[in-house]
Structure 1
Amino acid sequence: MSTPTAAEIFTPLDDLDPATPGDPFTRLRYSYGQLLGAEDFTTEQRYFLLRSRLHNAALHGFGTVWGLKVGSQENETALTLTCDTGLAIDPLGREVYVPQKVCLDITGLAATHFWGDLAAPPPAPGAEAGADSPLRRVYVVLRYRACLTEQVPAITQPCSGQDAGLAPSRVLDGYRLCLEATAPDLTGLPVRDITARANPPADLRTRLLEHIIDPDTPPPARLWSGADDAPLLLAVLDLEPVGTPVERVKLSGAIDNSVRALLPAVQSVADLALGIHLEAAGGIPRFQAGRLQSRAGEGADAARSFIEIATTRPLMAASVAPGSVRVLRFDEANKQWMPVPVASQTPSATGLSLVIDEVLPPGAPVQVYLLGTGAEALLDTTSQALAGAIGEVVPPGTGRDACLFAIHPTTA
């Protein structure tokens, strides 16, 4: 890996990480009258900081969280690379935040020693290697860097130099964004890739088990042992020299941002996996069936039974057809579910009321089947089809039947 010089660096923040080495499993225990020093407060910070990094790296991974798009501004005389603001997590679990758009003029890059470190891009699949290609490949790499700031007076040892009277009082979590001649090497970092396992078993749990207990997994202690270099590849670009002798460089093709690792939010993963947008609290609920209650009739209705079905949204009365709802009870004598005729179906703002012209046996299991598909599907007042029971995941625009169960009470 080349060591970038100032000419190839977007923003040079080069202090090492002061949180390491440390111990995320030791914290302070306070007692009345205890004397505390700087190292005690440092230990306190390291405990929470390093545990947060352990959580990030072990349970989330690494990559771009949002932003950090690498682009360009080019004309006939100049070429400037840009990187948008954004956030990433590196392989050591550290958040890397770029607070504003940054730029780097690389027009004269071919005149620097760095140009000699660059290699031609690999040939396209099936093509012959172009040893004489004038193109040079460059990798845009992001790293975490801590910046020590805000010097304050400090107590010094006898015979210390004049500069020893000041010490930084703040640590700014910064970044180093630079161009490199080779792709980042993540060897030895606690990075685990389940897709790289050879001959994975078909069973998902077994596959996960083998991945988790793999003895070749890099030890997590690398997260807090003092290792500082954990590069993140953001983009790849190919440059072409212009002029003889070379006067400037220009882009050859588009900047490839797709080479970076991605670290999407859990919300995004759930939306992609389930095919729906998971609504936030307070949003309009999906039209789904909820609680089912069964009760015996009283007085003039003693020969009847009643069933109440709650729904998350009001039903459209016109959609309630004779076959939209089916009721069954379990016949203990015959050991099977028996259909029960429904005398009436009355929609309301909170659900659907059913009247059964028979006395259901006390303690009998009752099953109600609601249609969300077909010609007799139940609709809400906005014409949305029933999307199953509450808790079911149904893609937008899809109806689903719902099956609810209850136990008929022993008393009215």
Structure 2
Amino acid sequence: MITPDVSAPIPATDPFTTLAPHFGMLLGVSDLEAVVGHAWAKSRLHNSWQHGESVIWGFALSVDPPTREVRVGAGLGQDSLGHELSLPATYCLDLAAWWEQHKADLGPPGQPFDAHVVARFRACLARPVPAVVSPCEGADAETAYSRLAETVELFLLPGKADRPADRYPRLRAFLGLGGADPDSDAQRQRVAATEPGERTTAWLAAVRRLAAADGIDRKPAGAGHFPGPEPDPDKPATGALVLGNLIGLTLTQTDPPQASVAEIDYSVRPSHVDTVTLLELAARGEADAGGPRVKSVRTAGKVIHVEVTRAVVPTTLSASVQSYDPATGWRPVAVTGLGYTAPDITIDLTTRPANNTRLRIVLPGTGPAPVVADEAGVPVALAGVVGGPPAGRDEGRDVVLSLVFPKEA
């Protein structure tokens, strides 16, 4: 029997102190806690620092309209203190009762609101057995709990949760996965200035430098050994694992009452990817910097429209257009102007080509002046076409488009 209302601290949380037994040594409760707790704390230390808080599998979220419940599917995860969070079956949160508790902050009934779900570790006493010693005078307990069960508490909290802070921010920025960072920018410039044949070695050296710098900055939270804060009983978000945002929750006053959700946002949830998958993903090569990519091309009159996946800086636009004739080969086609009107780069030709003219359009993503998008003041080069290989932030990929004029959408 598990008694969720009876919480208990986990034994011996020091991963660096254990029992040193000797023959004839009398063992007490604290000694047994040191034996059990040392291995437990070692496992938590490994989980928290080398894997980080994350969902390993499951924890699907849904809203059931008729019962007005938020449902959390079975799952396994771990928090920032290295606790393993195991939910063996689907559990439900009463959305209507929760709304009554928080309605002062959520607005009138029927108005959409946002909330998020978190999971937090809890240890509960279980399996009561007869106590060996007699209870104290006046006490009525003749049993004691013999097991410590690891369980999970689920909380629905008002508002949207932010994604936890990124670990290794310099390294992520260097790989094009974060905002601008001066150390990462300096290393990227160093790599770009290296001879092509030595660039792989320079890239590896930059990764090592930035990983070391990020590792130096990492420190335990408070005076403990772990990167996350100890859970605060009065603050459910502390030490908890974010499972997702429920955006646009609505409780209707229809007959019967209903509940709905506009969107379930899992992007704020940190997810664990196993090492075998990471190894195979790494085989793809350099991480993509997220530069704009070309989706399609079409013509309208004498204007060529090149659709791109994200906004580009109009002042960086450049393009060359050539026409092909078997007798003369490739010849330049005059361009009157270049512009960007979301989502298209527009290339205005001086004159309309004759029908069935074969054109070749080149947009630069490499060289001294590539077409770029702006990311917090940092240029990100054109990355090629959609579905193409990864491209770097500074050295993207040229786009070469061939079409027979005119080309319909």
TM-score with structure 2 setting the length: 0.53
1:118 to partner: Cα distance: 3.7
Q: Over residues 128-167 of structure 1, what are the superposed CA-to-partner deviations in whole Å (9 max), with x where a residue is unaligned?
A: xxxx99221111111111111111222246425112x322
Counterpart code for 2:241: L
Give, in whole Å, the separation in 2 of the partners of 1:23 and 1:115. Answer: 43
| Equivalent in 98, 102, 118 of residue 141 of structure 1 | 118
Matches within 5 A, 1:15-34: 16=7, 18-19=9-10, 22-34=13-25
**Partner residue, 2:208:** 205
- Asked if residue 243 in structure 1 is aligned to residue 253 in structure 2, the reply is yes
- Alignment gaps of 5+ in structure 2: 173-177, 188-205, 232-237, 286-409
| Equivalent in 85, 95, 107 of residue 74 of structure 2 | 85
Counterpart code for 1:56: N
Query: Any conservation in 1 of the 2:113–2:159 contact (CA below 8 Å)?
Result: no
Q: Over residues 155-182 of structure 1, what are the superposed CA-to-partner deviations in whole Å (9 max), with x where a residue is unaligned?
A: 246425112x322110111001121114
Query: Any conservation in 2 of the 1:91–1:230 contact (CA below 8 Å)?
Result: yes
Give, in whole Å, the separation in 2 of the partners of 1:226 and 1:254. Answer: 30
Counterpart code for 2:78: I
Give, in whole Å, the separation in 2 of the partners of 1:60 and 1:224. Answer: 11
1:98 to partner: Cα distance: 0.6
Q: Once structures 1 and 2 are overlaid, which stretch shifts more, 247-256 or 214-223?
A: 214-223
**Partner residue, 1:162:** 140
1:272 to partner: Cα distance: 1.9
- Asked if residue 223 in structure 1 is aligned to residue 226 in structure 2, the reply is yes
**Partner residue, 1:40:** 31
RMSD of the alignment, in Å? 3.5
Give, in whole Å, the separation in 2 of the partners of 1:225 and 1:61. Answer: 9
Cα–Cα, structure 1 residues 61 and 216, in superposed 2: closer, same or farther, change >3 Å? closer
Give, in whole Å, the separation in 1 of the partners of 2:241 and 2:208. Answer: 30
**Partner residue, 2:88:** 99
**Partner residue, 1:263:** 272
SS where residue 51 of structure 1 aligns? helix
SS where residue 270 of structure 2 aligns? coil
Give, in whole Å, the separation in 2 of the partners of 1:184 and 1:166. Answer: 43
Give, in whole Å, the separation in 2 of the partners of 1:241 and 1:24. Answer: 47
Query: Any conservation in 1 of the 2:114–2:160 contact (CA below 8 Å)?
Result: no
- Asked if residue 179 in structure 1 is aligned to residue 168 in structure 2, the reply is no
Q: Over residues 1-47 of structure 1, what are the superposed CA-to-partner deviations in whole Å (9 max), with x where a residue is unaligned?
A: xxxxxxxxxx9946555226631111111111111111111111110
Matches within 5 A, 1:303-318: none
Give, in whole Å, the separation in 1 of the partners of 2:15 and 2:139. Answer: 35
User: When you count helix as a share of all residues, which structure comes out higher?
Assistant: 2
SS where residue 22 of structure 1 aligns? coil
Cα–Cα, structure 1 residues 171 and 12, in superposed 2: closer, same or farther, change >3 Å? closer
SS where residue 42 of structure 2 aligns? helix
TM-score with structure 1 setting the length: 0.53
Counterpart code for 2:93: L
Query: Any conservation in 1 of the 2:113–2:250 contact (CA below 8 Å)?
Result: yes
Aligned length: 248
Counterpart code for 1:255: I
Q: Over residues 87-115 of structure 1, what are the superposed CA-to-partner deviations in whole Å (9 max), with x where a residue is unaligned?
A: 001010010001112233424554x1223
Cα–Cα, structure 1 residues 214 and 113, in superposed 2: closer, same or farther, change >3 Å? same
Query: Any conservation in 2 of the 1:118–1:138 contact (CA below 8 Å)?
Result: no
1:265 to partner: Cα distance: 1.2
Counterpart code for 2:182: N
1:259 to partner: Cα distance: 2.0
Give, in whole Å, the separation in 2 of the partners of 1:42 and 1:143. Answer: 23
1:254 to partner: Cα distance: 2.4
Cα–Cα, structure 1 residues 258 and 145, in superposed 2: closer, same or farther, change >3 Å? same
Query: Any conservation in 2 of the 1:23–1:224 contact (CA below 8 Å)?
Result: no
SS where residue 39 of structure 1 aligns? helix
Between the aligned residues of both structures, percent identity stands at 26
Query: Any conservation in 2 of the 1:107–1:248 contact (CA below 8 Å)?
Result: no
- Alignment gaps of 5+ in structure 1: 1-10, 121-131, 277-412
**Partner residue, 1:150:** 127
- When Rg is computed on C-alpha atoms for both structures, the one with the higher figure is 1
Give, in whole Å, the separation in 2 of the partners of 1:149 and 1:48. Answer: 21
Query: Any conservation in 2 of the 1:109–1:249 contact (CA below 8 Å)?
Result: no
Cα–Cα, structure 1 residues 119 and 270, in superposed 2: closer, same or farther, change >3 Å? farther
Query: Any conservation in 1 of the 2:3–2:125 contact (CA below 8 Å)?
Result: no
Cα–Cα, structure 1 residues 66 and 186, in superposed 2: closer, same or farther, change >3 Å? closer
Give, in whole Å, the separation in 2 of the partners of 1:144 and 1:254. Answer: 27
Query: Any conservation in 1 of the 2:162–2:268 contact (CA below 8 Å)?
Result: no
Give, in whole Å, the separation in 2 of the partners of 1:251 and 1:51. Answer: 43
**Partner residue, 2:40:** 49
